[in-house]
Amino acid sequence: MRNPILRGFNPDPSILRVGDDYFIATSTFEFHPAVRIHHSTDLVNWTVRGHALDEDFDLRGIPDSGGVWAPSLSHSDGRFWLAYSIVRSMDGDDKDIDNYLVTAESIDGPWSEPVHLGSRGFDFSFFHDPDGTHWIVGVQWDQRPEHPSFSGLVLEQYLPDEKRASGTATVIHQEPSLVEGPNLYRVGDWYHLLIAAGGTGWNHAITVARSRDRLGPYERDPKPFVLTSRDAPGLPLQKAGHGELVQTRSGEWMLVHLASRPTLHLGERYSTLGRETCLQHVEFGEDGWLRLAQGGHHAALEVEVAGESAGRADASGFADSFDAPQLDNRRWSTLRTALDHDTADLTVRPGWLRLRGGHSPASVFEQSMIVTRVEEHRATFEARFDAEPTSTRELAGLIAWYDRNGWIWLQLGWDADNGRHIRVVSRDGARTTRSAPVAAPDGPVRLRADLDGPDLRFAVAAVGDAHWTDVPGTHPAWTLSDDHGDRLRFTGLFFGVRADDLDGRGWSADIADISLRFARDAAPAGAD
């Protein structure tokens, strides 16, 4: 089994085994549909099963890197339980958060109406005690500027018959530094509290505390970390932390966790692919503490799982000819809400997606864009566009997207001086730059983006012409990462296609023959 098992933006994994089936839920933040569900029968080969929060789920108005944080997937009383947080604002010391629970008899739904679990903090997970009680463990947030924001990990009983939390939470663990992402397990006579420490950046880690009593006191592991890469900046898997445990069919313990594979630019590391999901073999040692099976505290790239592995079939990308009646949301995501039929029409011109233009890339409401995760540092993304803008406010093209303040767009547009043309428009923080225009071929055009580690290049060709013309310039893909700038950023790099109609007159672009191809690296992209 080769890590990451879920490549590209798939953070905060929550793992579960039910019979012979393994499921992982990952965070989706402002992207729709929400809470991605992955499935495997061998822990090696994973597919996207679907999403738990789909259809009418609406996050319009949510800030970048807000939205759905750290889902927790569990199974009890014959049902799947999914807890999740919606972060609605995160300005300064304040965080407006709502926590919810939905349940379903099948992992494919239908999921129940959400039960509100309060707004005390985030990273909530469920612990189903063998004694039949149900408990919520999570982070307690303190907005007072003179107090630590992370004011402890709390435990609160959930009352399923009344569909509510008890309202009384007990602080079961505190540390002088930041801790989050708690998960509670009962193994033998001990309650083990798995903790994410150090923030989700380069100092990320997993630690453990344990107690013989559910409410504590909890004894901290004498070793500082079960898992971290903070002391080894050259490891291919960085930012290792935020994990959960699962027991395999053969009784082994596995630790799922997030990590990042950085690319290098001028010697600095940038996690353009976002935080990805990895799996490690762990065991409880003679002293009862959780340890990596291979020893030490560094994540391994390759892991053996006895009785589970069936060999890996590596995916090299995908192609979409838009011959289905609706978008495949296992592959495509949108921002904050679903695109309705009138905005993304697959029927009016078979084999094409007609994308009616929407708001600008700055909008937190109605953007007309579909995006897909970039899974490797070297990738090629292509699409065919049939669009005739007649105003400077009608625009279409393919885009490398991180968030509203980080994107690089190969844009098909029009103006009176240049007619129909192509240029590269970029957003980096508060700064927007536009390249010189390049004349667009007549009729439909093919557009291409080539990602090479920290660098991004573009090309254009007429339909039917085998020759590609490079669009001048090399563009900084490394800015499309968690690690660029001083903003809180928690997602990852996407490729996508979009159309803007800033006058709202109903202008649209037709898009066809999208393909995305990946090439895997033996070493981190950009390394010498």
pLDDT in tens, 351-399: 999 999 999 999 999 999 999 999 999 999 999 999 999 999 999 999 9
> Looking at residue 250, which CATH number applies to its domain?
2.115.10.20
Name the DSSP class of 382. E
Single out the residue in 258, 292, 326 at which a domain terminates: 292
253 and 133 fall within a common domain: yes
Distance in angstroms (rounded) separating the CA atoms of residues 459 and 465: 13
Number of domains present in the structure of the chain: 2
C-alpha torsion angle, residues 401, 404, 408, 414 (rounded to 10) = 120
Domain annotation covers residue 407: yes
Domain annotation covers residue 526: no
339 and 486 fall within a common domain: yes
386 and 243 fall within a common domain: no
For residue 428, the surrounding DSSP H or E stretch is: strand 419-428
With tokens 């997970």, the residue in question is 125
pLDDT in tens, 116-136: 999 888 899 999 999 999 999
CB–CB of 14/245 below 8 Å? no
**pLDDT of 27 above 70:** yes
264 and 359 fall within a common domain: no
244 and 326 fall within a common domain: no
Single out the residue in 227, 257, 292 at which a domain terminates: 292
358 and 464 fall within a common domain: yes
Looking at 30, 64, 180, 375, which residue is catalytic? 180
CB–CB of 77/61 below 8 Å? no
127 and 183 fall within a common domain: yes
CB–CB of 206/228 below 8 Å? yes
CB–CB of 263/453 below 8 Å? yes
Distance in angstroms (rounded) separating the CA atoms of residues 386 and 353: 10
Name the DSSP class of 221. P
194 and 331 fall within a common domain: no
470 is catalytic: no
Q: How many residues does the structure list for the chain?
A: 528
356 and 282 fall within a common domain: no
Single out the residue in 292, 327, 342 at which a domain terminates: 292
Buried residues in 90-125 as b, exposed as e (16+ CB within 10 A): beeeebebebbbbbeeebebebeebbebbebbbbbb
230 and 368 fall within a common domain: no
With tokens 């240029």, the residue in question is 423
Q: Which domain holds residue 330?
A: 317-519
- The confidence score (pLDDT) of residue 308 equals 57
> Looking at residue 508, which CATH number applies to its domain?
2.60.120.200
Q: pTM for the whole thing?
A: 0.96
Q: Hey, how many other C-beta atoms are within 10 angstroms of the C-beta on 305?
A: 16
Task: Give the percent of the chain with pLDDT over 90.
Answer: 89
- The confidence score (pLDDT) of residue 526 equals 45
The token pair that represents 87 in the structure block? 């972060």
513 is catalytic: no
Name the DSSP class of 478. G
Distance in angstroms (rounded) separating the CA atoms of residues 48 and 185: 27
